[in-house]
Chains A and B, each alone.
Chain A
Amino acid sequence: MNNENKRPSASGVSRRTFLGGTAVGAVATGFLSGALRAEEAADAVAGETVVGPGKVAVTLTVNGQSFERELEPRVTLLDALRDHLDLTGAKKVCDRATCGACTVLQDGAPVYSCTVLAIAAQGSEITTIEGLGTEGDMHPIQASFVDNDAQQCGYCTPGFMVATKAFLDAHPNPTMQQIEQGLGGNLCRCGTYNGIKAVLQSGGRA
């Protein structure tokens, strides 16, 4: 519980372990409360490293670059990206795994980064919108979003774009039914779905 600076290895710590060790403090973070039951906490003790609640060294690999930061174990991947790495593309909107604005890729799979702990993301390859392409050299999906005006205020765009990338990797020529199901985990308020559907129907090719 007080291993302040002990570096947890990717395999040596799990969210469950962390919660077992910090149950009192951790329930403060809303999305964790209720998600774990006492029995889960109880069976998580033996043989696993317990870290926190103080800061620990966390190493994240984001867009191919390695970052080391001292973070409390309760810090989410989203907060780590936004507040500690200055990668503000992923957005905090619902903060409870509903809207998809915080979507990033973890080893190629889309995850809601508001609901992944930074310590649990160690050892995996994280890709954010910033890792997809640059303004001068956009990824074809990014160019297709621009071309189809699949954005207005743009606040949902990074999450939508990353989710689109993962979806099209798995479904290069999707049907509309696949599109509606596959991108149902991202929400837009300005109403840009028409453009986003066009991006997806074109397979993300501008």
Chain B
Amino acid sequence: MVDYSWPEPDKRALIGKRISRLDGPAKSTGGAKYPSDIRFDNLLYGKFLTSPHAHARIVSIDVEAARSMPGVKAVRVVQDAGSEIQWAHDEIAAVAATSEDIAFDAVQAIRVEYEVLPHYVTEGDLEAAPLTKPGSERVTGDLDAGWAAATATVEGSLSIPMVNHCCLEPHGQTVIWDGENLTAYCSTQAVSTLGFQFGGPLKIPASNVHVLTEYMGGGFGSKFSVERWGIVCAELARDAGQPVKLFLERDHELAVGGHRPSAFAKIKAGADSEGNLVAWSSESWGSGGLPGTGTTPLPYVFKIPNRSHKHISVPTNFAGAKAWRAPNHPQAAFLTMSILEDLAAELEMDPLELFRKNLSMVAGDRGPTYEEELTIAADLMEWKANWRPRGSGSGVMRRGLGLSIHTWGGKGHRSACEVTVHPDGGVEARIGTQDLGTGTRTVIAAVLAETFGLAIDEVKVHLGDNRFPNSGPSGGSTTVGGVSSSTRRAAQDALFEVFEKVAPELNASADELEAFGGRVFVRGEPDRGLSWSDAAAKLGLNPITVNGRNPGKGQLNDGGVGGVQMADVNVDMETGVVKINLLVAVQDVGLVINQKLAESQLFGALIMGVGSALYEERIPDPHTGRLLNANMEFYKLPGLGDVGEFKVHLMTGPGYDERGVIGIGEPPSVSPVAVIGNAVANAIGVRVPHAPFTPDRVLAALAEKGGQA
């Protein structure tokens, strides 16, 4: 029967190659229609009135003036009098009108009276928190013995603030009703799961809901749910009897559309004179808004034998955090790798040697992987030639190098794929996944075409539809492993059915056949065969359709990776400005389906990390509880000139491919803040303890050290 496996390297015409994304032309010409681009002749535009207060009770709300405005077709009170509002920009009421401007006017005409209540939005000031949720202290080993063995110790108080997803396409959807059936064009990472989420609140069966996401403008972990705006949009459309488009305004998007929890920590760590890590204790706290936070996994990657950690979850008056590309890992990497680099500096040791020396402490059996990656990264960075002891530079412009290591899972998610082979040789796949811009569509096409021995443009991939066989949400770097596994299995099964039809004519058995180069032939005897179209014609009148499922980790896909990154920066000692020279990323990945797109994931993760390292932070106003920078002028994303050069290396090929396909969207986003922070410390001779490393913070750290600011 069918042996589900990836083709041998010499039989890979597409897998692992540098193929351009198939939807590139559509995205490059304006032809790609995103959910926010969907239009209908009688489309209405929805808008929200949101709360100006971070904590308040609604005393009264009057929407009559809005309701009676010409062009306003529906008005809904989202939270009525008596409701307690727990964050600024929470949704209070919504309107749908014939134009964006009329909708805007209508929102302005709604009158709300609030009883303003005390708020808390500055979790850095832990003592002022009205409520904290302390976790228990976790102790491993013998801390007293650890500290006794330590000849060098360092202590640090570090922090990394909440940052926003800031997807360029805001959260939202365009919806249209047909009787009791809803079609929703959603900007989502989870097309297969939204039918049920719409159905419940709208009191219609999930099977009445058709969700479509042909394209979507970025998610990064923030777009898994239908959210209140999805339901309200559908209700407005039902009330009005017309389709409604409702996407969040940018200030609303930045305030509630998704952020990553902050992390603050007081850490002490010790090593012996040889650089062996012997003791660690940490207390961390942070907030992801009203729900607080999960624990920050400290110490990160290095399981120091004697260690203790305690985490305090701090609720603040912000909307709940959303999953943000490798949840908790970037914060933990920054906190841990900073302290380890400080420890290396204290020991007057090259941190590369300190990291190497302690690889036996990493979880799993990943030590050798890290060892290999450190060697490759050091070569790419020319670490040996370029690294200097901390603060040993001189002059106005100081150069520094930093490093970090990280880990992630990335095994394939639950996924089903339906493959159809037509008698004319046409091959198509239907799969309820979505392409976030990671290249999922192109990956599926490559797997499909490779299996049938066809060119990539000879197959069709249909995705972004909840009526296709369902796949998991695109989170946790699970998509590529899931969809490539389900697609490969469905395709291999369908191909075998074709082989069974063809085999008698070739005087062979089905399992002796292979498909490659547009032909079906007896393995090892290319002349004993026929063209793919002649083979498919043996199906007669009936196409064949086969479903494949990803049975889990270890079946064409795997999870569990390590990665190493390094940074080379310049710091201007007079202005405090940090400039990236070079970022190096070496990433453990398994079998790569598309080298070009996989590298793009690394570039993207590094660039997003530059944002967290140098520019991005939610700045709350302690007086009003609102964000001071709920716009893209002052919530700063890195620009094209801010990111420096890159060298990336994927740990793939013989020795790695055997593991199968592993997701790569998240792991390379873990270390950038840590490596840039370590490079800055190496350059200027002192730790900048609070991210992002803005000029004022760099100068403050220098001033505290007593240096020339």
Contact = CB atoms under 8 A, between A and B. Distances in A.
A128 B603 CA distance: 28
Nearest to A94: B632
A143 B45 CA distance: 34
A197 interface: yes
B640 interface: yes
Interface in A78-108: 79, 82-83, 86-96, 98-99, 101
Given A88-B33, A138-B28, A146-B25, A193 B640 contact: yes
B364 interface: no
Best-buried of A89, A101, A184 by chain B (most CB within 10 Å): A89
Contact of A91 (B169, B599, B604, B633): B169
Contact of A133 (B26, B29, B597): B29
A25 B250 CA distance: 22
A79 B32 CA distance: 18
Nearest to A193: B640
A184 B100 contact: no
Interface string B194-223: 000000000000000000000111101000
Interface of B: 20-21, 23-34, 36-37, 39, 45, 99-101, 104-105, 108, 166-170, 215-218, 220, 249-250, 436-439, 596-597, 599-600, 603-608, 631-633, 637-641, 643, 646
Interface stretch (A9-17, A36-44, A154-162): A154-162
Nearest to B21: A149
A146 B20 contact: yes
24 contacts: A28-B101, A28-B104, A72-B101, A88-B30, A91-B34, A92-B36, A98-B631, A101-B168, A134-B31, A135-B31, A142-B25, A142-B28, A146-B25, A149-B599, A151-B28, A152-B218, A154-B23, A158-B30, A179-B640, A186-B639, A187-B632, A189-B220, A193-B639, A196-B640
B20 A147 contact: yes
Given A91-B168, A179-B640, A184-B639, A193 B607 contact: yes
A132 interface: yes
Given A130-B30, A138-B29, A146-B21, 6 more contacts: A79-B100, A83-B39, A94-B250, A129-B28, A152-B437, A188-B640
Contacts of B28: 129, 138, 142-143, 145-146, 151, 154, 157, 161
A29 interface: yes
Contact of B640 (A90, A158, A186): A186
B437 A153 contact: yes
A128 B30 contact: yes
B70 to A, nearest CB: 11
B22 to A, nearest CB: 10
A76 to B, nearest CB: 9
Contacts of B105: 28
Contacts of A186: 639-640
Given A138-B29, A146-B20, A180-B641, A192 B600 contact: yes
B590 to A, nearest CB: 21
B603 A194 contact: yes
Contacts of B216: 153
Given A28-B105, A89-B30, A129-B29, A187 B639 contact: yes
B632 A153 contact: no
Interface residues of A, number: 62
Contacts of A99: 168, 632, 637
Contact of B29 (A134, A188, A191): A134
Q: Which 10 A-B pairs have the closest CB atoms?
A: A89-B30, A180-B641, A191-B607, A153-B437, A191-B604, A154-B27, A155-B217, A152-B437, A146-B24, A88-B37
Interface in A132-183: 132-135, 138, 142-143, 145-147, 149, 151-158, 161, 179-181, 183
Nearest to B245: A83
Interface of A: 28-29, 72, 74-75, 79, 82-83, 86-96, 98-99, 101, 128-130, 132-135, 138, 142-143, 145-147, 149, 151-158, 161, 179-181, 183-184, 186-197
B605 A191 contact: yes
B25 A135 contact: yes
A154 B23 CA distance: 9
Contacts of B20: 146-147, 149
B605 to A, nearest CB: 7
B218 A183 contact: no
Given A28-B108, A83-B99, A189-B166, A149 B600 contact: yes
Contacts of B250: 93-96
B495 to A, nearest CB: 30
Given A93-B168, A181-B641, A190-B437, A154 B603 contact: no
A155 B632 contact: no
Given A146-B28, A147-B20, A195 B640 contact: no
Contact of B249 (A95, A153, A184, A196): A95
Contacts of B217: 91, 153-155
* Of B21, B29, B99, B633, most A-chain CB atoms within 10 Å: B29
Contact of A151 (B24, B166, B632): B24
A153 B168 contact: yes
A197 B640 contact: yes
Contact of A96 (B37, B100, B631): B631
B230 to A, nearest CB: 19
A130 B29 contact: yes
Contacts of B218: 152-153, 155, 189-190
Given A72-B99, A193-B643, A157 B39 contact: no
Contacts of B166: 189
A44 to B, nearest CB: 22
Contacts of A135: 25-26, 29, 31
